[in-house]
Amino acid sequence: MEKVRFSAGIRLPCGRRAANLTSQTSCVILQIYNILYKKGYVMNRRLLSGACRFALAAGFVLAVLALSACGGNAASPAPNAPAANAQWPVWDLRDGDYRGHFDDREHNVSVQLTIRNEEIVDVSLRWAYYRGVDYRRARAANEDPYAGIYDQHVEVLEFLIGARGVEQIVERTVYMEGLPSGPALEAITTQEVDGFTAATIRSGKIGSAVRDAFNRGRYRE
């Protein structure tokens, strides 16, 4: 009598977990029937074919359960919001001043932040250059539009004042990634300077300088 060979595997959006459950369940059931067949307890080929269909159905049910366990209906996080299981950096937020920098071929930024009781209580933009333009010097000379752009950079940096602890600091810098968004954008009172809107400033450079400051550690007490 001819043996019936059957293997089942269902691929669901959840990935390997559902497929593995399907395949393993089918194999276990078919192995039992093969043992019964070899010992002569199962002689009806139609019954063995029915076992195959049962194995497939059982595996499919388990696959659907696995898909549900994967959280397919979970809500998407808000734009720029940190993930719930985010890994926070290990920063030693002792009282004192922290200095950090960001440098590339076009944009150079340096910031200073003051920590008291793990809270940012003061910030300053030590320098900011873009394509050879010194924004801080332009601010001192009241040179438009660069003076206003300097103010926009200072205001988005001041958005960090009041953040306490690593988690809050990271959450606020997330809104500065790339271009300012959400509460970081709302914190900029100088919204437009000769066509340069607050939404177009490179706040991500400032955020990188802030992370560099805490990665470096305390500059002075």
For the chain, what is the radius of gyration of the CA atoms? 31
Q: What pLDDT sits at residue 50?
A: 62
Q: Tell me how far apart the alpha carbons of residues 67 and 61 are, in angstroms, rounded to a whole number.
A: 10
pLDDT tens for each residue of 22-39: 556 555 666 666 666 666
Co-location of 103 and 161 in the same domain: yes
Number of continuous H segments (helices) and E segments (strands) in the chain = 7, 6
Could you tell me if residue 82 is inside a domain? no
Per the model's pLDDT, the better-predicted residue between 184 and 38 turns out to be 184
Per the model's pLDDT, the better-predicted residue between 63 and 98 turns out to be 98
Could you tell me if residue 74 is inside a domain? no
Token pair for 119: 């809270």
- Give me the half-sphere count of Cα atoms (radius 13 Å) on the Cβ side of residue 128: 25
Co-location of 183 and 120 in the same domain: yes
CATH code of residue 101 = 3.90.1010
Could you tell me if residue 5 is inside a domain? no
Co-location of 102 and 154 in the same domain: yes
Q: What pLDDT sits at residue 8?
A: 40
Domain span including residue 63? 16-69
Could you tell me if residue 165 is inside a domain? yes
pTM of the model: 0.59
Question: For the residues 9-30, what does the mean pLDDT come to?
Answer: 50
In total, how many domains does the chain have?
2
Q: What pLDDT sits at residue 178?
A: 82
Co-location of 106 and 31 in the same domain: no
CA distances from 82 to 55, 77, 130, 202 (A): 43, 8, 29, 20
